[in-house]
Amino acid sequence: MAIFLEPTYYSDSSTIWLLTSTLVIATIIFYTAAVAIYRIYLHPLSHIPGPRLAAATHLYIFYHNWYRSGKLYLQTEKLHAKYGPVVRISPTELHLSDPTNYDKIFHIGTRYTKPAAFYAAFSSGPNTLFGTPSNEIHRTKRAAIAPFLARKSVLESESLIQSKVKWLENRIRYRLRSSGKINLHYAFRALSVDVATEYVFGGDGEGCWDLLKREDFGKSLFLLERRMMPIGWVFQQFPVVRAVVMGVPGWVLGWVSGPLEGLMMFREVASEEVAMQDGDNDGGKQQLKTRQTMFHQLLRPGGAIKGYDVPTVENLENEAYDLVGAASGTTGNALTITAYHVVANPEIYRTLKAELESAFPNPNSEMIYTKLEKLPYLTAVIKEGLRLSYGVIGRLPRVVPESGAEFNDYKVPAGALVGMSSWMMHRNEELFPEPDKFDPSRWLDGTTSNKSLDRYFVPFSKGPRQCLGMSLAYCELYIMLGRLFLHFDDLTIEKKSLEDLAYDDFFNIYHRPGKDMFCFQSRGMELVTSDG
């Protein structure tokens, strides 16, 4: 008996859907493979050594920055050890490790520009001082702001810094007497934020965030900041996410992600400070009318700066967010790392205290910045602290100009990205032997060619995009560390391993979460369970 199988029939729509889906999937696979093959073998950067996966996809960078919590800077170091001084880390980007290349890129008058996609991820607006790709726009904006952050203005505002440092010093003394220890990591960051907010928003105290007066020194704010900063790597890889997030109210983001909500909250705090400057609306522009701040200058440059466009209050809110965000990490971390290494090395501690006592035999005398900065050992200690706190630890990419470039015999076409990092510069063993060792003597006259080392010392970067707050940061470092080590001679701290001191790079750098590492103790005092 014959058995007949009934044929299966598909509707026309089902057949079309199946064929279309198959064609789309095949096209995506073919296109992805074709792009990868082109990038690896035919791209203008295909002659540059590096891992093939990095040449094929930008996800290589995203993996090390996002999934591995900001560890691209460590991976890049490994790549240089394997491939040499020029390494391809993405389809369009190179990283350089030879210190002599730094001045080729980061110099006054450079034609290298910032890549918009990279810096927009960490900036509140496309044309802020930090975020603008254009050197020309940056030049005019910097000309408006620079007078307020210049050395002259910082010296005129030294009393502001002195008052904040004295307040913190009194809190340190009280905390050590009451509990025997204090977490200076959060205290130093609070100092940096309070100095920055009062300096930026006004000189009579009304703009200060007053984190130094909080019981926990604003620890909750800094933990929130640390949670939200990794979002920058997502914004960088997927710019559409940033566009969506910036247009959504913070309370809505709270349903999706705590860090995203935190990002908007942090922006709103900075925005409120600008809005509270008691302005009057003038043709759509806010004209601030209280004490003179850098925001007055930005709003009313008086036509003195050619090509400068007076910003809206929204523009100023973006500037405020960037300025405060930068201050919250870099100077505070430099203070923490410097203080840790001094206290962890008794001989350095004794030498520094002896110099300070010689310069200020009366411990109650005013410790003026211009006198402190002339002390050679204190200066060497601060430089070594800045070297090991790095500023921005990761790469700072720039766009190669139309003329193209050449690095270590590799020709690089216009439009490619090239970057260098303070991590690689400050850890070059030929320049800084035993780079992980805190050794102030390397900066002292007669011990090394310390003048030549300054060329490769880049905690604030170099060139026209160098950190504008450098003078303010130095003033804060000298006064705080000078007073701390003149007035406290019995501080101790548990020594940390290199693994303990490792950083997570989210453009600002952070120590690993959950580690309360920087509790300084006072000898002879009974310790309590408080985390300081």
- Cα atoms found within 13 Å of the Cα of residue 222, Cβ hemisphere only: 30
**Beta-strand (E) ranges in 35-117?**
86-90, 93-96
Residue 179 bridge partners (DSSP): none
Q: Is 61 exposed, middle or buried (0-12, 13-18, 19+ CB in 10 A)?
A: buried
User: 10 Å Cβ neighbour count for 217?
Assistant: 27
Closest C-alpha to 267, from 198, 227, 324, 186: 324
Q: Phi and psi at residue 180, in whole multiples of 5°?
A: 90, -5
Question: DSSP per residue over 461-472, as a string?
Answer: --GGGS-TTHHH
Number of helices followed by number of strands (H, E) in the chain: 24, 13
Query: Binding site annotation covers 208?
Result: no
Q: Are 99 and 83 in contact (CB under 8 A)?
A: no
How much of the chain is in helix, strand and coil states, percent to nearest 5? 55, 10, 35
Q: Phi and psi at residue 277, in whole multiples of 5°?
A: -80, 15
Phi-psi region of 54 (alpha: psi -120 to 50; beta: other; left: phi over 0): alpha
Q: Are 395 and 70 in contact (CB under 8 A)?
A: no
Q: Phi and psi at residue 411, in whole multiples of 5°?
A: -80, 135
- Largest separation between any pair of C-alpha atoms in the chain: 117
Exposure b/e, 419-436, CB count within 10 A at least 16 = b: bbbbbbbbbeeebbeeee
User: What's the Cα-to-Cα distance from 33 to each of 39, 208, 237, 380, 406, rounded to whole Å?
Assistant: 10, 55, 20, 53, 30
Exposure b/e, 62-80, CB count within 10 A at least 16 = b: bbbbbeebbbbbbbbbebb
Closest C-alpha to 457, from 524, 514, 384: 384
- Cα atoms found within 13 Å of the Cα of residue 361, Cβ hemisphere only: 1
Residue 95 bridge partners (DSSP): 87, 419
Binding positions for heme are: 467
Binding positions are: 467
